[in-house]
Structure 1
Amino acid sequence: MHGGEAPMPAVVVPLEALRAGMVAEAGGKAANLGEMLAAGFAVPGGFCVMTPAYRDALERADARSLAEAVDSEDDDARRPGLAARLRELLASAGLAPATEAAVRAAYERLSQAPAPGVRGSDAIHGGDGIPVAVRSSATAEDLPGASFAGLQETFLNVVGADAVLDAVRRCWASLWTDRAVAYRRAAGFQGAEAALAVVVQPLVDAAVAGILFTADPVSGSRTRMVVEASPGLGEAVVSGAVDPDRFVAEAATGQLLESRAGSKGLAVRPAAGGGTERVAPAGDAGPLCLGPGEVAELAALGRQLEAHFGSPQDAEWALAADGTLWLTQTRPITTLHPIPVRPSGSPAGGVRAWFCFSLAQGLTRPLTPMGIASLKAAAGSIAAQAGLAPSDADAGPSVVQAAGGRLFVDVTTVLRSRVGRRLAPRVLDVMEARSAGILRRLSADPRFPLEIRTPLPLARRVVSLAVRHHVPETLVRALVRPAAGLARVQRFGAVLEERLAPGTGGPAARLDRARDLLAREAFPIVPATLPVAAAGFVCAGLASLLLRGTARPGELQDVLRGLPNNPTTEMDEELRSLAERVRREAPAEADELAGHDGGELAARHAAGTLPEVLADGIAAFLGRYGHRAVAEIDVGMPRWREEPGPVLSMVSSMLLGDPAKDSFASAARAGEDAARSLASRARDRGRLRGAAVAALLARARALAGLREQPKFYLVRVFDAARTELHAVGRHLAEAGVLDDAGDVFFLDFAEARAALAAASAGHGPGRAEDDGGARLRGTVAARRADYARELRRRHVPRVLLSDGSEPEAVASATTPGEAGVPAGTALAGVPASAGTVTAAARVVLDPSAASLAPGEVLVAPSTDPGWTPLFVTAGALVMEMGGANSHGAVVAREYGIPAVVGVPRATERIRSGDRIEVDGAAGTVRIVAPAGGTEGSS
């Protein structure tokens, strides 16, 4: 496309003609501005150079292939050079003649009728044209899930048509700055697929300008609005050039709650001849640049913005010298986590506290909609067993709700109960220590007054439920005869397998079977298996009483290393043994496969080209453990049986080292030695005491490993339900109601029933009556987009209040800082497994594509059983989540590797390649040397 070709239609469009849905044509910023103008907000009028002009410039500069090269380039050293060349080409690219003429005409119209409160051209420029702001508006900007704020350029006080045209080209080039490229790569956006429009607006003659957050961006509270303001143009506040005045107002009324004067050491003002200059503020306007009335006016504006856009907003504003309040931009506050909401008819009144069940289960990623529906069905079964059956079986108990793809539990009643205040934090101390601290602080919060003082009603329910399901009997039998307890668990598993056989009916029957499996089979697993594992810990507790004065701190934990009868470590050991067998029987192939990508090996497995010993071993492994996966409590997650890439990746990592090195066997020997040593020392205080300690520790080692068995069986139930649901999905895809069988996991049970009804009615694509099918496909598409956005969320609150505030953030009163910390810095967490290791860190956010070299320190947000094969090669473990008895801590102890858990923002503050020292006894992680650096000292 060059000069002689026909001009593109509608390449320059007035802002008032744009709407929120026109992001592809106008970019996020321009679409929002047009939406605000249409809604009647005070926004300076102007025009937009639409995205086809950018795409035309890319073609005119013959730079599209270069843009694709920047996206695909994996060499960090080469990428900036490619991006710089691309910026040069775009900045020098000429506009199509028709586009240039349209921009000149639109600018002339603006100059002829400046808006009120806007500085006129002859004020400082002698009639060259009105001063304008020329602002980038990217298609990947100001979006619900990613703001990309400040990544592209804005040029202020641009005067004259030639200067405007030059600023437009420089805006286009700014789509490819190093920071913009890096941000898009991190957020999963392709720059070559993005485009950039350019907004041109009259420059507001701002006396004061700044930012309005309609919710507190630090605490998350939706009841407080925050205003930051400084004299002059808003660029001073937005760019961070000044310490602005800060105001906090009550959202509902605009009443000023807090104010703090900033230093305001400079102001950004329009400069003579164009551009801006930084000057000392003129005059002495007092310590604050806004009064209570002006803050209240901004709060009222914020309420209007929230009502129109339906979510908290981050808005930029300017107060003109004539007193006019202008809006210059608004975007969603993308960092706020959605708030769980109890259904109508649930208890109301006062602030409610929501505990994140997903995080407690080691999940930072979101659950699929069907995964949420399945867990709610299982929770409804538990509630029914306790005599608290929900009115809607599919909805589950009202205390369990989803937000942001995570499950939350309403713990308000727990906080208002004497026994709840004591018991819940103690349970969490060993599972998720940071959450325990939050609940303790909330127990002292006057918003959660003590209302339930007697434990009797709860005790009656718990005792009745335990007796009904033979919990005391099972516990006592295991204490007296451990072998009988183990046999009971194995018999239960065999019967469960028979009950989980795939259904044979039609799709409607299989959908009902999936729902029934979750409601009928999930709960009985707990009373049938957990008491047997609990018996092991009871024995350990009794032994600790007999060992008072004999055992040193931590020695009893040594006894619980390398425990038998743990299905998770047995699974890991089978993989390690497989790697050893491959190394022994096919050494040349083992060398070739070591460190290979799991996806590539999975393709070879499907094609039948893997070495026979590995192919046979993987088939046998998947036959026993193929129902497992990362985030395996989500029925929407593919199982290893379906996608074996993660398992093969783990085997290839094991082949990098010495698979014959058996850390678990070493841990088991150490555990047995510790038990013998303690029993011998107890015998010195009496033969009977020594015999009792020996018997109790033997029982503890035999039974405590079963702590993983309940989840192992539960995941089998989820896997069986997934099998039924996948069959339903295939039917719906074949009927044309859904595009893909996997789409069924982005519906819930009621919607899946509606989809089957649509399929029965023949509502497939291309049918005139396809209202139901089209609606369901639209629902799936929207939910897939939501799911992808939530996958990028790095921070999930442990506890969230119903006003949106996050207690942990309020307590720390800090916001996340830059990634990486200086050498010598020590990070504190919870001691989880003793020992000290100094090695390179490997930060892993998703184990499905992870490769961990032998000896590296695994740094993760959290772990579940799908992660644990990585422990076989890990030298140590660092986790953001967890307590001393969380899953990762337990497995680390069983393998005898040092572990520190509950380290805030570990995956941000530690980078892959950093050399770190993990002290599992002290609970500290020290950065010895940053990646590529030299060792520092503490």
Structure 2
Amino acid sequence: MAGGKGANLGELVRSAFPVPDGFVVTTHAYDLVAQGRDTRAYFEQAELPGDLRQAIADAYAALGGGPVAVRSSATAEDLPGAAFAGQQDTYLNVVGEPALLDAVRRCWGSLWTDRAIAYRAKLAIDESEVRIAVVVQSMVEAETAGVMFTANPVTGDRTQLVIDASSGLGEAVVSGLVTPDHYVIGPSGPAGFTPGRREVVIRGTAGGGVTRESGAATPAEPLPAAVLDELAGLGRQVAAHFGRPQDIEWAYAGGRVHLLQARPMTALPPPPVGRLNPIQRRISSVLLEYLPERPYPIDMTTWVPYGPAGLMGKVTASFGMHGVFSGFLREEDGVVYQLVPPKPHPGAAALLAPFRLVARARKYDPARWTQDPRFRAYLAAIEELAARDLTSMSWERLTAVPRQALALVEPVADLRVDYLPGTGLALLRLLLAVKLLGRGRLFGDLLHGARTRTSDANQALERLAAHARRTGALDADPMPADFAGELREFLAEYGHRETASPILVTPPTWADAPETVLSLIRVLAAEPPAPKEADDALERLLRHPLLRSRGGRARMRRWVEAARAGIAFREDSHFYFMMPQPVLRRSLLELGRRLRGAGVLQQPEDVFHLRLEELESIKDVATLTAEEAERLRETVRARAAKREELSGVRLIDPALVFPARETGDALIAGSPASGGVATGPVRVIREPAEFVKLGSGDVLVCPYTNPSWTPLFQQAAAVVVDTGGAGSHAAIVAREYGIPAVMGTGKGTSVLEDGQVVTVNGNAGTVTRAT
């Protein structure tokens, strides 16, 4: 009835905050006039019913008939995730009944401006549900006015308030016409002050309306300490009352502070997490690489806790280390808004971990893990579940499929617990051996050469690219049958691979987005990959004087093969571990399709805004009550709006995870991850859809990588990544392909630009302008 702004002001009045007197022209009044019309021109000329005109006139007279501020108050505005700041109109210093009625009409009409309609469409707000009220307040002829944020909008610090102030009416500050005085108030008082410039001062005029004048002659005096203290105290009380940080407009006049409106702060960064220790930075760098996009609620209740992150949490916990990959994402209003670096801590089992590691390493050989009966049973269970026809299932059976898919990953977790110790010890043994021989630099090269499912996929892609290059299949319409058949076979074998993240279920797989695969084929087909040099690292090692004996050479070969088998196990177990994910995703989208058919969702993907338990609580989509359907719609709308609000807010400040390094004359610096120096033009690739942009000899600059990106390394001269470290996917692949890599730059994709020619030094971890 009162709209978002009116409802919030009513709360402030009820709690005795210093709010100017006023009244609300409710949404019911809007409906009386609207009669189904939805154009601005109609409302600006509309005749108000006589009783409505009289009610507004009486309320205006009760205020004293003096100057008032007339503000829009739409039903969807000032809600968490949908601030609507500036979308509807405000009129200041309105004087007289005719001017007031005209301002009310214009506020109604502002609901139907192009900008307001576009904003609602962006937030998927149903136009038929939108109404607007109008708030009329006694005008405060402010000496000083502005805006107060009850949390720092830049750092996210909830213990600080930020106050912007300037002379005259606050409209100059709100609309950005002036550089205001800027105050930062900490828990114990003022923590910072930057004087403004008062370019413009807005004041009311005697006959109504406002005037703008130069502020050059206005004394630039800061707010008195007592006023700052009062504002800060009121701000903290208002935030506590609404239970969340607030954006408050205020005015100071005649020795009094007035609160003109309050709404939830939007796009607020997460609270600072403080300095990170090296372990937290290392874990966070892995998580950032795995989280190129914000998880949805369905991710948080399915693949995040059960997928690779949950799996590794189970593995580390089995050896007594807890909290490594759990509880690292925080939610607000049902949407993930912050990555909190985990704080691993050992449990009592950690004391026995070394003995368990050795015992498992002796019992479980990574070279034979695919012969384990548990693995064969896992593949059979995956095949059976994937073959089910989801479209023919009843709602009850369909809602059980996600849990069944998640249950399938348990055996792989157990396999990793058993076989990773053998991998770790094989790698440690080889590392110690080559270091004792003085050949430590060969360690990374010695690990290359293991056959993995990723290398199999890359070779299959190269064959498809060679076919396309030879026949022009990619440019033919329709695609030739033989090439289309080979592509189908490829997707049947490798289509469950992730395009964006292994720990989220919402991004599409290769099979869901075959255009990603076609982009990779197009990149490879554009120019044949340069032939790789033969890997002679093992032969170079075997020429060591201490390895002349037949037994010593044979032992070293076994150790290298064991280490390679360990690397293959790590890679291949992930490959197989991802196989339930497409089944899970398909089942969720089928649930979404049925909810769309019932009028609950606008599109099947909207189901991602719901949690798994919320879907399971629906007994039958066919018997949903109108109330239940509306509750689900509103949940989806609110979370979608919140997600949109946070679209420009990072889960964590990358500078905390990747501290600034001394760069000298470098454009950016990071961790050296693959040696060598290369020069080429920058090509920023932010997502798989942009793969086709990469040309041979380009410097690949990206926010993250995963196995889907591997074929690009055959064309790139070097790789520069915002996230990750020397042990991440991009670094390992770069070393295998012999190209320089710089990881963990934190800001490579925002600093470097397409076409810029740079030199990447993988030894020093720097990127400089090419000379």
TM class by shorter-chain length? Answer: 0.7 to 0.9
2:507 aligned with 1:570: no
1:754 equivalent in structure 2: 617
2:369 counterpart letter in structure 1: R
2:67 aligned with 1:225: no
Are the equivalent residues in 1 in contact too, given 2:672–2:726 (CA < 8 A)? yes
| Change in CA separation of 1:136 and 1:911 when aligned onto 2, cut-off 3 Å | farther
| Change in CA separation of 1:370 and 1:34 when aligned onto 2, cut-off 3 Å | same
Are the equivalent residues in 1 in contact too, given 2:81–2:638 (CA < 8 A)? no
SS in 1 for 2:578: helix
SS in 2 for 1:792: helix
Match of 1:827 among 649, 668, 671: 668
Distance, in Å, in 2 between the alignment partners of 1:212 and 1:321 is 19
Are the equivalent residues in 2 in contact too, given 1:230–1:237 (CA < 8 A)? yes
Equivalences for residues 494-513 of structure 1 within 5 A? 494-503=376-385, 506-507=397-398, 510=401, 513=404
Distance, in Å, in 2 between the alignment partners of 1:212 and 1:333 is 13
Distance, in Å, in 2 between the alignment partners of 1:576 and 1:737 is 44
2:497 counterpart letter in structure 1: R
2:351 aligned with 1:460: yes
Equivalences for residues 343-354 of structure 1 within 5 A? none
2:431 counterpart letter in structure 1: G
Are the equivalent residues in 1 in contact too, given 2:40–2:113 (CA < 8 A)? no
2:651 equivalent in structure 1: 796
1:242 counterpart letter in structure 2: T
1:241 counterpart letter in structure 2: V
Distance, in Å, in 2 between the alignment partners of 1:921 and 1:766 is 62
Match of 2:179 among 242, 246, 266: 242
| Change in CA separation of 1:471 and 1:727 when aligned onto 2, cut-off 3 Å | farther
Q: What is the deviation of 1:545?
A: 0.7
Are the equivalent residues in 2 in contact too, given 1:134–1:167 (CA < 8 A)? no
1:365 equivalent in structure 2: 293
SS in 1 for 2:145: strand
Distance, in Å, in 1 between the alignment partners of 2:26 and 2:58 is 15
Q: What is the deviation of 1:625?
A: 1.1
2:242 counterpart letter in structure 1: F
2:233 equivalent in structure 1: 300
| Change in CA separation of 1:370 and 1:263 when aligned onto 2, cut-off 3 Å | closer
Q: Runs of 5+ in structure 1 lacking a partner? A: 1-16, 21-28, 62-92, 122-129, 341-351, 415-454, 478-484, 594-608, 800-805, 813-823, 929-936
2:408 equivalent in structure 1: 517
Are the equivalent residues in 1 in contact too, given 2:43–2:106 (CA < 8 A)? no
Distance, in Å, in 1 between the alignment partners of 2:139 and 2:657 is 41
1:852 counterpart letter in structure 2: K
1:627 equivalent in structure 2: 496
Are the equivalent residues in 2 in contact too, given 1:628–1:866 (CA < 8 A)? yes
Superposed CA deviations along residues 554-613 of structure 1, whole A, max 9, x for unmatched, are 6654555x64323334323322321211221x22x43457xxxxxxxxxxxxxxx43213
2:517 aligned with 1:647: yes
Q: What is the deviation of 1:399?
A: 4.7
2:189 counterpart letter in structure 1: L
Superposed CA deviations along residues 277-299 of structure 1, whole A, max 9, x for unmatched, are 232475685xx4132x4334323
2:573 equivalent in structure 1: 710
SS in 2 for 1:502: helix
SS in 2 for 1:841: strand
Q: Runs of 5+ in structure 2 lacking a partner? A: 274-279
2:277 equivalent in structure 1: none
Superposed CA deviations along residues 185-229 of structure 1, whole A, max 9, x for unmatched, are 9x9569998999787755422233233222233332323333343
Match of 1:488 among 348, 363, 369: 369
Are the equivalent residues in 2 in contact too, given 1:833–1:893 (CA < 8 A)? yes
2:143 equivalent in structure 1: 207
Are the equivalent residues in 2 in contact too, given 1:214–1:222 (CA < 8 A)? yes
Distance, in Å, in 1 between the alignment partners of 2:354 and 2:511 is 40
2:579 counterpart letter in structure 1: R
Q: What is the RMSD computed on CA atoms of the aligned residues?
A: 5.4
Q: What is the deviation of 1:363?
A: 1.0
Q: What is the deviation of 1:880?
A: 2.0
TM-score normalised per structure 2: 0.75
Are the equivalent residues in 1 in contact too, given 2:81–2:642 (CA < 8 A)? no
SS in 2 for 1:275: strand
Distance, in Å, in 2 between the alignment partners of 1:829 and 1:55 is 62
2:237 aligned with 1:382: no
Superposed CA deviations along residues 766-818 of structure 1, whole A, max 9, x for unmatched, are 66xx76x537744762576268537724411169xxxxxx9679x99xxxxxx
Equivalences for residues 32-181 of structure 1 within 5 A? 41-44=17-20, 45=22, 95-98=44-47, 130=67, 142=78, 144-145=80-81, 147=83, 149=85
Distance, in Å, in 1 between the alignment partners of 2:600 and 2:50 is 49
Aligned residues: 727
Equivalences for residues 429-468 of structure 1 within 5 A? 457=348, 459-463=350-354, 465-466=356-357
Superposed CA deviations along residues 518-561 of structure 1, whole A, max 9, x for unmatched, are 4x32411313443454356335523541453x67xx6654555x
SS in 2 for 1:580: helix
1:125 equivalent in structure 2: none
Q: What is the deviation of 1:826?
A: 1.0
98-107 or 563-572, which moves further after superposition? 98-107
2:276 equivalent in structure 1: none
SS in 2 for 1:299: helix
1:258 equivalent in structure 2: 191
Distance, in Å, in 1 between the alignment partners of 2:86 and 2:593 is 45
Distance, in Å, in 1 between the alignment partners of 2:758 and 2:15 is 54
2:479 aligned with 1:610: yes
SS in 1 for 2:290: coil
Superposed CA deviations along residues 794-847 of structure 1, whole A, max 9, x for unmatched, are 411169xxxxxx9679x99xxxxxxxxxxx971222223333232143341x42
1:432 equivalent in structure 2: none
1:894 counterpart letter in structure 2: E
